Amino acid sequence: MPVSLLTAEQVRVAERSTGELLANGTLMRRASHGVAQVVVGRLAATGGCYGRTVGIVVGAGDNGGDALFAGAELARRGIRVTAVLLAPDKAHPKALLAFGSAGGRLGTELPRGLDVVIDGVVGIGGRGPLRPTAAKVFAGVAPSTVVVAVDLPSGVDADTGVVHDPAVRADITVTFGVRRRAHLLAGPQCGRIVVVDIGLPADHEGDPDVAEEYAPGEIRLQALTDADIAAAWPVPGAHDDKYTQGVVGVIAGSHRYPGAAILSTGAAVAATSGMVRYVGSAHAEVVAHRPEVVVVPELSEAGRVQAWVIGPGAGTDDAALERLRTVLATDLPVLVDADALTVLAAHPDLVIGRDAPTLLTPHAGEFARLTGEPVGADRLAAVADLAKRWGATVLLKGRITLVAQADGTVYGNDAGSSWAATAGAGDVLSGIAGSLLAAGLPPIWAGAAAARVHAHAARNAASGAPIGASDLLAALRPTIRELLAP
Protein backbone atom coordinates (compact mmCIF):
# COMPACT_ATOMS: atom_id res chain seq x y z
CA MET A 1 0.00 0.00 0.00
CA PRO A 2 1.16 3.60 -0.50
CA VAL A 3 3.45 4.97 2.20
CA SER A 4 2.17 8.08 3.99
CA LEU A 5 4.51 10.98 4.66
CA LEU A 6 3.45 12.83 7.77
CA THR A 7 3.49 16.41 8.96
CA ALA A 8 5.49 17.36 12.03
CA GLU A 9 2.31 17.61 14.09
CA GLN A 10 1.15 14.15 13.02
CA VAL A 11 4.51 12.74 14.10
CA ARG A 12 4.13 14.43 17.47
CA VAL A 13 0.63 12.96 17.85
CA ALA A 14 2.01 9.48 17.07
CA GLU A 15 4.78 9.97 19.63
CA ARG A 16 2.39 11.19 22.33
CA SER A 17 0.17 8.19 21.75
CA THR A 18 2.98 5.91 23.04
CA GLY A 19 2.45 7.36 26.53
CA GLU A 20 5.05 6.05 28.95
CA LEU A 21 7.49 5.15 26.16
CA LEU A 22 7.81 8.83 25.39
CA ALA A 23 7.70 10.02 29.00
CA ASN A 24 10.38 7.68 30.34
CA GLY A 25 12.84 8.30 27.49
CA THR A 26 12.48 4.91 25.80
CA LEU A 27 11.72 6.48 22.41
CA MET A 28 14.84 8.65 22.64
CA ARG A 29 17.07 5.71 23.61
CA ARG A 30 15.73 3.68 20.69
CA ALA A 31 16.19 6.61 18.33
CA SER A 32 19.75 7.31 19.45
CA HIS A 33 20.64 3.62 19.20
CA GLY A 34 19.33 3.66 15.62
CA VAL A 35 21.52 6.64 14.76
CA ALA A 36 24.54 5.00 16.32
CA GLN A 37 23.95 1.76 14.44
CA VAL A 38 23.78 3.59 11.13
CA VAL A 39 27.07 5.33 11.84
CA VAL A 40 28.67 2.05 12.96
CA GLY A 41 27.46 0.37 9.79
CA ARG A 42 28.97 3.10 7.66
CA LEU A 43 32.31 2.96 9.45
CA ALA A 44 32.40 -0.83 9.44
CA ALA A 45 31.92 -0.81 5.67
CA THR A 46 34.94 1.47 5.23
CA GLY A 47 37.60 -0.02 7.47
CA GLY A 48 36.12 -0.64 10.91
CA CYS A 49 35.17 1.46 13.91
CA TYR A 50 37.97 1.51 16.48
CA GLY A 51 39.96 4.73 16.39
CA ARG A 52 37.74 6.40 13.82
CA THR A 53 36.56 9.97 14.36
CA VAL A 54 33.03 11.33 14.58
CA GLY A 55 31.83 14.88 15.20
CA ILE A 56 28.43 15.91 16.52
CA VAL A 57 26.81 19.32 16.09
CA VAL A 58 24.32 19.61 18.93
CA GLY A 59 21.37 21.96 19.25
CA ALA A 60 18.88 22.41 22.05
CA GLY A 61 16.16 19.90 22.84
CA ASP A 62 15.44 16.32 21.91
CA ASN A 63 17.16 16.30 18.51
CA GLY A 64 20.43 17.21 20.19
CA GLY A 65 19.67 14.63 22.89
CA ASP A 66 19.32 11.91 20.25
CA ALA A 67 22.70 12.91 18.81
CA LEU A 68 24.46 13.00 22.20
CA PHE A 69 23.11 9.62 23.30
CA ALA A 70 24.23 8.22 19.93
CA GLY A 71 27.64 9.79 20.50
CA ALA A 72 27.88 8.12 23.90
CA GLU A 73 27.22 4.73 22.33
CA LEU A 74 29.83 5.36 19.65
CA ALA A 75 32.41 6.46 22.24
CA ARG A 76 31.90 3.21 24.14
CA ARG A 77 32.87 1.36 20.97
CA GLY A 78 36.27 3.02 20.85
CA ILE A 79 35.35 5.78 18.40
CA ARG A 80 36.74 9.26 19.12
CA VAL A 81 33.71 11.52 19.35
CA THR A 82 33.75 15.31 19.65
CA ALA A 83 30.60 17.37 20.19
CA VAL A 84 30.08 21.06 19.54
CA LEU A 85 27.27 22.45 21.69
CA LEU A 86 25.56 25.34 19.93
CA ALA A 87 23.54 26.19 23.03
CA PRO A 88 25.44 24.73 26.02
CA ASP A 89 22.88 25.86 28.59
CA LYS A 90 20.06 24.18 26.64
CA ALA A 91 21.68 20.85 25.83
CA HIS A 92 19.74 17.78 26.91
CA PRO A 93 21.12 17.21 30.47
CA LYS A 94 20.84 13.43 30.68
CA ALA A 95 22.25 12.95 27.20
CA LEU A 96 25.12 15.32 27.91
CA LEU A 97 25.95 13.44 31.13
CA ALA A 98 25.91 10.10 29.29
CA PHE A 99 28.12 11.50 26.56
CA GLY A 100 30.72 12.74 29.03
CA SER A 101 30.63 9.52 31.07
CA ALA A 102 31.32 7.48 27.91
CA GLY A 103 34.44 9.48 27.11
CA GLY A 104 32.96 11.89 24.60
CA ARG A 105 34.76 15.21 24.22
CA LEU A 106 33.39 18.73 23.96
CA GLY A 107 34.90 21.36 21.68
CA THR A 108 34.18 24.77 20.26
CA GLU A 109 34.78 23.55 16.72
CA LEU A 110 34.94 20.22 14.95
CA PRO A 111 38.32 18.57 14.42
CA ARG A 112 39.60 18.25 10.88
CA GLY A 113 39.56 14.98 8.97
CA LEU A 114 36.43 13.50 10.57
CA ASP A 115 34.97 10.32 9.15
CA VAL A 116 31.36 11.20 10.03
CA VAL A 117 29.51 14.28 11.27
CA ILE A 118 26.12 13.90 12.96
CA ASP A 119 23.69 16.78 12.46
CA GLY A 120 21.72 17.12 15.71
CA VAL A 121 21.00 20.84 15.47
CA VAL A 122 17.22 20.95 15.02
CA GLY A 123 14.57 18.36 14.27
CA ILE A 124 11.10 18.54 12.78
CA GLY A 125 10.31 21.67 14.78
CA GLY A 126 13.06 23.69 13.11
CA ARG A 127 12.19 26.72 10.99
CA GLY A 128 14.29 28.74 8.60
CA PRO A 129 17.97 28.47 7.68
CA LEU A 130 20.89 27.44 9.85
CA ARG A 131 21.85 30.12 12.34
CA PRO A 132 25.26 31.72 11.70
CA THR A 133 27.05 29.73 14.42
CA ALA A 134 25.80 26.40 13.08
CA ALA A 135 26.44 27.43 9.49
CA LYS A 136 30.05 28.27 10.37
CA VAL A 137 30.56 24.84 11.93
CA PHE A 138 29.20 22.98 8.91
CA ALA A 139 31.12 25.20 6.49
CA GLY A 140 34.29 23.68 7.92
CA VAL A 141 33.24 20.08 7.27
CA ALA A 142 35.31 18.48 4.50
CA PRO A 143 33.45 17.31 1.38
CA SER A 144 34.70 13.76 1.98
CA THR A 145 33.11 13.58 5.44
CA VAL A 146 29.85 11.64 5.61
CA VAL A 147 27.03 13.71 7.10
CA VAL A 148 24.31 11.85 9.01
CA ALA A 149 21.23 13.91 9.89
CA VAL A 150 19.06 13.06 12.89
CA ASP A 151 15.43 13.00 11.71
CA LEU A 152 15.90 15.75 9.13
CA PRO A 153 18.78 17.89 7.80
CA SER A 154 18.82 21.16 9.71
CA GLY A 155 17.59 24.06 7.60
CA VAL A 156 14.96 21.95 5.81
CA ASP A 157 11.30 22.58 6.59
CA ALA A 158 9.68 19.35 7.76
CA ASP A 159 6.27 19.96 6.17
CA THR A 160 7.02 21.80 2.93
CA GLY A 161 10.46 20.41 2.13
CA VAL A 162 11.70 23.95 1.52
CA VAL A 163 15.51 23.96 1.67
CA HIS A 164 16.65 27.22 3.21
CA ASP A 165 20.04 28.78 2.63
CA PRO A 166 22.17 27.72 4.36
CA ALA A 167 21.05 24.20 5.23
CA VAL A 168 22.73 20.89 5.96
CA ARG A 169 23.03 18.49 3.04
CA ALA A 170 23.03 14.96 4.40
CA ASP A 171 24.39 11.78 2.91
CA ILE A 172 22.14 9.74 5.22
CA THR A 173 19.07 10.82 7.18
CA VAL A 174 18.00 8.61 10.07
CA THR A 175 14.37 9.03 11.00
CA PHE A 176 12.08 7.27 13.42
CA GLY A 177 8.97 5.15 12.94
CA VAL A 178 7.50 6.94 9.93
CA ARG A 179 8.66 9.18 7.12
CA ARG A 180 8.19 12.93 7.25
CA ARG A 181 6.98 14.95 4.26
CA ALA A 182 10.38 16.52 3.72
CA HIS A 183 11.96 13.10 3.24
CA LEU A 184 10.24 13.06 -0.15
CA LEU A 185 9.90 16.76 -0.93
CA ALA A 186 13.56 17.47 -0.14
CA GLY A 187 14.88 14.05 -1.09
CA PRO A 188 18.18 15.19 -2.63
CA GLN A 189 18.98 17.18 0.53
CA CYS A 190 18.24 14.20 2.78
CA GLY A 191 20.32 11.59 0.99
CA ARG A 192 19.54 7.98 1.82
CA ILE A 193 16.64 7.64 4.26
CA VAL A 194 16.88 5.06 7.03
CA VAL A 195 13.70 4.49 9.05
CA VAL A 196 14.28 3.10 12.55
CA ASP A 197 11.42 1.36 14.33
CA ILE A 198 11.10 2.95 17.78
CA GLY A 199 7.63 1.70 18.71
CA LEU A 200 5.30 4.24 17.13
CA PRO A 201 1.84 2.90 16.19
CA ALA A 202 3.14 1.71 12.83
CA ASP A 203 5.63 -0.85 11.64
CA HIS A 204 8.99 -0.05 10.03
CA GLU A 205 7.67 1.32 6.74
CA GLY A 206 3.99 1.31 7.56
CA ASP A 207 1.23 3.84 7.77
CA PRO A 208 -0.07 4.76 11.23
CA ASP A 209 -3.75 5.36 11.68
CA VAL A 210 -3.71 9.12 11.19
CA ALA A 211 -6.80 9.39 8.99
CA GLU A 212 -8.65 11.22 11.72
CA GLU A 213 -5.99 13.93 11.62
CA TYR A 214 -7.03 15.02 8.11
CA ALA A 215 -9.83 17.49 7.55
CA PRO A 216 -11.78 17.24 4.26
CA GLY A 217 -9.63 18.64 1.47
CA GLU A 218 -6.47 18.72 3.60
CA ILE A 219 -3.32 17.55 1.86
CA ARG A 220 -2.43 13.88 2.35
CA LEU A 221 0.98 13.10 0.85
CA GLN A 222 1.79 9.52 -0.09
CA ALA A 223 4.33 7.64 -2.18
CA LEU A 224 3.68 4.56 -4.28
CA THR A 225 6.11 1.68 -4.07
CA ASP A 226 7.24 -0.50 -6.95
CA ALA A 227 5.03 -3.26 -5.53
CA ASP A 228 2.00 -0.94 -5.61
CA ILE A 229 2.64 -0.08 -9.23
CA ALA A 230 3.30 -3.67 -10.30
CA ALA A 231 -0.01 -4.72 -8.71
CA ALA A 232 -1.92 -1.99 -10.56
CA TRP A 233 -0.17 -2.21 -13.94
CA PRO A 234 -2.49 -3.49 -16.70
CA VAL A 235 -1.64 -7.07 -17.60
CA PRO A 236 -3.77 -8.86 -20.22
CA GLY A 237 -6.01 -11.61 -18.92
CA ALA A 238 -7.27 -14.76 -20.59
CA HIS A 239 -10.28 -13.04 -22.14
CA ASP A 240 -8.76 -9.66 -23.02
CA ASP A 241 -8.38 -8.29 -26.52
CA LYS A 242 -6.86 -5.09 -27.88
CA TYR A 243 -10.03 -3.15 -27.17
CA THR A 244 -10.68 -4.31 -23.61
CA GLN A 245 -7.11 -3.45 -22.65
CA GLY A 246 -7.64 0.17 -23.58
CA VAL A 247 -7.35 2.25 -26.73
CA VAL A 248 -5.52 5.53 -26.31
CA GLY A 249 -5.73 8.36 -28.81
CA VAL A 250 -2.72 10.66 -29.20
CA ILE A 251 -2.89 14.16 -30.72
CA ALA A 252 0.70 15.37 -30.90
CA GLY A 253 3.42 16.70 -33.17
CA SER A 254 3.20 17.69 -36.80
CA HIS A 255 4.62 16.80 -40.19
CA ARG A 256 7.23 19.53 -39.69
CA TYR A 257 7.98 18.53 -36.08
CA PRO A 258 7.17 14.82 -35.79
CA GLY A 259 9.35 14.00 -32.79
CA ALA A 260 6.71 14.53 -30.11
CA ALA A 261 4.26 12.33 -32.00
CA ILE A 262 6.80 9.54 -32.41
CA LEU A 263 7.86 9.62 -28.77
CA SER A 264 4.34 9.82 -27.32
CA THR A 265 2.91 7.04 -29.45
CA GLY A 266 6.01 4.90 -28.96
CA ALA A 267 5.69 5.18 -25.19
CA ALA A 268 1.99 4.35 -25.32
CA VAL A 269 2.72 1.24 -27.40
CA ALA A 270 5.44 0.13 -25.00
CA ALA A 271 3.47 0.77 -21.80
CA THR A 272 0.40 -1.42 -22.32
CA SER A 273 -0.87 -4.14 -24.63
CA GLY A 274 -3.96 -2.36 -25.94
CA MET A 275 -4.15 -0.16 -29.00
CA VAL A 276 -2.83 3.28 -29.98
CA ARG A 277 -4.49 5.66 -32.41
CA TYR A 278 -2.74 8.76 -33.70
CA VAL A 279 -4.34 11.94 -35.04
CA GLY A 280 -2.23 14.60 -36.77
CA SER A 281 -0.16 15.63 -39.74
CA ALA A 282 2.79 13.47 -38.63
CA HIS A 283 0.80 10.33 -39.42
CA ALA A 284 3.25 9.10 -42.08
CA GLU A 285 6.24 9.54 -39.78
CA VAL A 286 4.47 7.83 -36.88
CA VAL A 287 3.47 4.74 -38.83
CA ALA A 288 6.99 4.54 -40.29
CA HIS A 289 8.35 4.21 -36.75
CA ARG A 290 5.44 2.27 -35.25
CA PRO A 291 3.43 0.36 -37.87
CA GLU A 292 1.07 -0.97 -35.17
CA VAL A 293 -0.28 2.55 -34.53
CA VAL A 294 -3.53 3.34 -36.36
CA VAL A 295 -3.05 6.79 -37.89
CA VAL A 296 -5.37 9.41 -39.39
CA PRO A 297 -4.75 13.06 -40.21
CA GLU A 298 -8.00 14.53 -38.83
CA LEU A 299 -9.79 14.21 -35.50
CA SER A 300 -13.10 13.63 -37.27
CA GLU A 301 -11.64 10.44 -38.73
CA ALA A 302 -10.47 8.96 -35.43
CA GLY A 303 -12.14 5.79 -34.21
CA ARG A 304 -13.24 5.01 -30.68
CA VAL A 305 -10.77 5.50 -27.85
CA GLN A 306 -10.92 5.07 -24.07
CA ALA A 307 -8.69 8.09 -23.33
CA TRP A 308 -6.97 10.97 -25.09
CA VAL A 309 -3.48 12.46 -24.88
CA ILE A 310 -3.34 15.92 -26.41
CA GLY A 311 -0.71 18.58 -26.66
CA PRO A 312 2.92 17.53 -27.13
CA GLY A 313 4.19 19.54 -30.10
CA ALA A 314 0.61 20.01 -31.33
CA GLY A 315 0.64 23.80 -31.71
CA THR A 316 -1.20 26.65 -30.05
CA ASP A 317 -3.19 28.15 -32.94
CA ASP A 318 -6.97 28.32 -33.40
CA ALA A 319 -7.06 24.82 -34.84
CA ALA A 320 -5.29 23.51 -31.73
CA LEU A 321 -7.87 25.27 -29.54
CA GLU A 322 -10.73 23.63 -31.44
CA ARG A 323 -9.15 20.18 -31.15
CA LEU A 324 -8.68 20.69 -27.42
CA ARG A 325 -12.24 21.95 -27.04
CA THR A 326 -13.60 18.92 -28.92
CA VAL A 327 -11.62 16.39 -26.89
CA LEU A 328 -12.47 17.96 -23.54
CA ALA A 329 -16.15 18.04 -24.48
CA THR A 330 -16.20 14.23 -24.45
CA ASP A 331 -16.86 12.10 -21.39
CA LEU A 332 -13.49 10.35 -21.78
CA PRO A 333 -10.36 10.70 -19.62
CA VAL A 334 -8.04 13.30 -21.14
CA LEU A 335 -4.36 14.00 -20.48
CA VAL A 336 -3.43 17.60 -21.36
CA ASP A 337 0.25 18.35 -21.90
CA ALA A 338 2.72 20.82 -23.42
CA ASP A 339 1.19 23.08 -26.12
CA ALA A 340 -2.33 22.15 -25.03
CA LEU A 341 -1.53 23.48 -21.56
CA THR A 342 -0.56 26.81 -23.11
CA VAL A 343 -3.91 26.88 -24.90
CA LEU A 344 -5.70 25.85 -21.73
CA ALA A 345 -4.07 28.67 -19.76
CA ALA A 346 -6.09 31.11 -21.87
CA HIS A 347 -9.25 28.99 -21.69
CA PRO A 348 -9.42 27.38 -18.23
CA ASP A 349 -13.20 27.07 -18.52
CA LEU A 350 -12.59 24.07 -20.78
CA VAL A 351 -11.44 22.08 -17.73
CA ILE A 352 -12.91 23.77 -14.66
CA GLY A 353 -16.09 21.89 -13.79
CA ARG A 354 -15.40 19.05 -16.25
CA ASP A 355 -16.94 15.83 -14.92
CA ALA A 356 -14.76 13.35 -16.79
CA PRO A 357 -11.25 12.50 -15.49
CA THR A 358 -8.67 15.11 -16.49
CA LEU A 359 -4.91 14.90 -15.97
CA LEU A 360 -2.79 18.02 -16.49
CA THR A 361 0.98 17.44 -16.74
CA PRO A 362 2.82 20.78 -16.53
CA HIS A 363 6.45 21.50 -15.88
CA ALA A 364 7.21 24.58 -13.77
CA GLY A 365 6.94 27.03 -16.65
CA GLU A 366 3.63 25.63 -17.85
CA PHE A 367 2.35 25.59 -14.29
CA ALA A 368 3.12 29.30 -14.03
CA ARG A 369 1.15 29.94 -17.22
CA LEU A 370 -1.83 28.02 -15.84
CA THR A 371 -1.86 29.84 -12.50
CA GLY A 372 -0.40 33.22 -13.43
CA GLU A 373 2.41 32.94 -10.89
CA PRO A 374 5.56 30.86 -10.29
CA VAL A 375 5.29 27.54 -8.51
CA GLY A 376 7.23 28.89 -5.55
CA ALA A 377 9.22 27.05 -2.91
CA ASP A 378 6.23 25.13 -1.50
CA ARG A 379 5.51 22.91 -4.50
CA LEU A 380 3.20 20.63 -2.52
CA ALA A 381 0.83 23.43 -1.57
CA ALA A 382 0.93 24.87 -5.08
CA VAL A 383 0.00 21.68 -6.91
CA ALA A 384 -2.67 20.74 -4.39
CA ASP A 385 -4.22 24.20 -4.68
CA LEU A 386 -4.43 24.07 -8.49
CA ALA A 387 -5.99 20.61 -8.41
CA LYS A 388 -8.59 21.76 -5.90
CA ARG A 389 -9.45 25.01 -7.71
CA TRP A 390 -9.73 23.44 -11.17
CA GLY A 391 -11.24 20.12 -10.11
CA ALA A 392 -8.60 18.21 -12.07
CA THR A 393 -5.66 15.95 -11.33
CA VAL A 394 -2.36 17.82 -11.75
CA LEU A 395 1.04 16.22 -12.28
CA LEU A 396 3.81 18.73 -11.58
CA LYS A 397 6.99 17.50 -13.22
CA GLY A 398 10.43 17.68 -11.66
CA ARG A 399 13.06 15.61 -9.89
CA ILE A 400 10.31 15.26 -7.28
CA THR A 401 7.11 14.68 -9.27
CA LEU A 402 3.87 15.47 -7.46
CA VAL A 403 0.46 14.26 -8.62
CA ALA A 404 -2.47 15.91 -6.85
CA GLN A 405 -6.19 15.29 -7.11
CA ALA A 406 -8.91 17.68 -6.05
CA ASP A 407 -9.66 16.03 -2.68
CA GLY A 408 -6.17 16.80 -1.32
CA THR A 409 -4.56 13.42 -2.00
CA VAL A 410 -1.07 13.83 -3.46
CA TYR A 411 1.24 11.08 -4.68
CA GLY A 412 4.92 11.95 -4.88
CA ASN A 413 7.88 10.29 -6.54
CA ASP A 414 11.57 11.08 -6.21
CA ALA A 415 13.22 10.12 -9.50
CA GLY A 416 16.53 9.65 -7.70
CA SER A 417 18.34 11.54 -10.46
CA SER A 418 17.74 14.15 -13.15
CA TRP A 419 18.70 12.03 -16.15
CA ALA A 420 15.15 12.41 -17.50
CA ALA A 421 15.56 16.21 -17.71
CA THR A 422 16.06 16.05 -21.46
CA ALA A 423 14.10 17.29 -24.46
CA GLY A 424 11.26 14.94 -25.38
CA ALA A 425 11.17 13.09 -22.05
CA GLY A 426 7.84 14.72 -21.21
CA ASP A 427 6.37 13.33 -24.45
CA VAL A 428 7.36 9.84 -23.31
CA LEU A 429 5.74 10.43 -19.91
CA SER A 430 2.50 11.54 -21.56
CA GLY A 431 2.35 8.42 -23.68
CA ILE A 432 2.85 6.16 -20.67
CA ALA A 433 0.26 7.94 -18.52
CA GLY A 434 -2.25 8.16 -21.37
CA SER A 435 -2.09 4.45 -22.02
CA LEU A 436 -2.69 3.79 -18.31
CA LEU A 437 -5.71 6.11 -18.37
CA ALA A 438 -7.10 4.18 -21.33
CA ALA A 439 -6.59 0.93 -19.43
CA GLY A 440 -8.83 2.25 -16.66
CA LEU A 441 -6.44 3.56 -13.99
CA PRO A 442 -7.61 6.67 -12.12
CA PRO A 443 -5.68 9.80 -13.16
CA ILE A 444 -3.68 10.03 -9.92
CA TRP A 445 -2.56 6.41 -10.25
CA ALA A 446 -1.88 6.76 -13.97
CA GLY A 447 0.24 9.85 -13.37
CA ALA A 448 2.14 8.52 -10.36
CA ALA A 449 2.79 5.10 -11.89
CA ALA A 450 3.94 6.65 -15.15
CA ALA A 451 6.27 9.03 -13.30
CA ARG A 452 7.91 6.21 -11.35
CA VAL A 453 8.38 3.92 -14.35
CA HIS A 454 9.62 6.90 -16.38
CA ALA A 455 12.24 7.60 -13.69
CA HIS A 456 13.34 3.97 -13.53
CA ALA A 457 13.65 3.85 -17.33
CA ALA A 458 15.78 7.00 -17.32
CA ARG A 459 18.07 5.48 -14.70
CA ASN A 460 18.36 2.22 -16.63
CA ALA A 461 19.04 4.03 -19.90
CA ALA A 462 21.58 6.42 -18.44
CA SER A 463 23.81 4.08 -16.45
CA GLY A 464 25.80 7.13 -15.43
CA ALA A 465 25.91 8.92 -18.79
CA PRO A 466 23.65 11.50 -20.48
CA ILE A 467 20.70 10.22 -22.50
CA GLY A 468 18.16 11.49 -25.01
CA ALA A 469 14.43 10.80 -25.04
CA SER A 470 14.88 8.04 -27.62
CA ASP A 471 17.16 6.20 -25.20
CA LEU A 472 14.58 6.60 -22.46
CA LEU A 473 11.86 5.22 -24.75
CA ALA A 474 14.03 2.24 -25.66
CA ALA A 475 14.50 1.45 -21.97
CA LEU A 476 10.80 1.58 -21.18
CA ARG A 477 9.77 -1.97 -22.05
CA PRO A 478 12.73 -3.65 -20.25
CA THR A 479 11.98 -1.47 -17.23
CA ILE A 480 8.34 -2.57 -17.14
CA ARG A 481 9.44 -6.18 -17.56
CA GLU A 482 11.74 -5.76 -14.56
CA LEU A 483 8.94 -4.17 -12.55
CA LEU A 484 6.46 -6.96 -13.30
CA ALA A 485 8.92 -9.83 -12.80
CA PRO A 486 7.66 -12.25 -10.13
Known binding-site residue numbers: 62-66, 119, 123-129, 151, 154, 260, 313, 363, 397-401, 426-427
Q: Identify the H or E element spanning 5.
A: strand 3-5
Strand-pairing partners, residue 403, are 395, 411
Q: Identify the H or E element spanning 116.
A: strand 116-120
The residue ranges of DSSP E strands in 219-324, in sequence order, are 220-223, 247-251, 275-279, 294-296, 307-310
- The secondary structure of 406-443 as a DSSP string is TTSEEEEEE-SSSTT-STTHHHHHHHHHHHHHHTT--H
DSSP 448: H
Pairing outcome for strands 400-404 and 409-414: antiparallel
Binding residues for K(+): 63, 119, 154
Alpha-carbon Rg for the chain, nearest whole angstrom, is 25
Binding residues for AMP: 397-401, 426
How many angstroms separate the CA atoms of 187 and 170, rounded?
10
Shortest CA distance to 82 belongs to which of 54, 120, 115?
54
How many angstroms separate the CA atoms of 271 and 245, rounded?
11
Binding residues for (6S)-NADPHX: 62-66, 123-129, 151, 260, 313, 363, 427
How many angstroms separate the CA atoms of 66 and 85, rounded?
13
